[in-house]
Amino acid sequence: MIVANAQSMFEELPSKARAAFNQDPARFLNFVNNLDPVTGHDDLVEVGLASPLLTTPDVADTPPDTQETPPSPTPDTEKPIDST
């Protein structure tokens, strides 16, 4: 029964993934049971079973904002509105 379930699940995989394991469910089971915790996701992406992770740029690597902001008004530059 377990072998039949494994075969059935394997047949539901995308053809690219099945081809990566030479159409052999035993190879697939060995692969998933021995995934490395660090590189396992990359391995899954390689065989078409996961999408690449989205990455965000490291803040330290981001160049500083080059857009200048206008100076905020100071009491010297503000003039009262003449109400006469």
d(C-alpha 30, C-alpha 6), whole Å: 12
Question: How high is the pLDDT of residue 3?
Answer: 73
Instruction: Specify the 3-state DSSP secondary structure of 14.
Output: coil
d(C-alpha 61, C-alpha 63), whole Å: 6
Question: How high is the pLDDT of residue 20?
Answer: 92
Question: How high is the pLDDT of residue 67?
Answer: 57
Q: If you ran DSSP here, which 8-state letter would residue 60 be given?
A: G
Asked whether 20 and 27 are in contact (CB, 8 A), the reply is no
- pTM score of the predicted model: 0.56
Q: What is the pLDDT of residues 37-84, one digit of tens each?
A: 888 999 999 988 899 888 776 666 656 665 566 666 666 555 666 666
Structure token pair of residue 23: 């159409």
Q: What is the mean pLDDT of residues 10-38?
A: 91
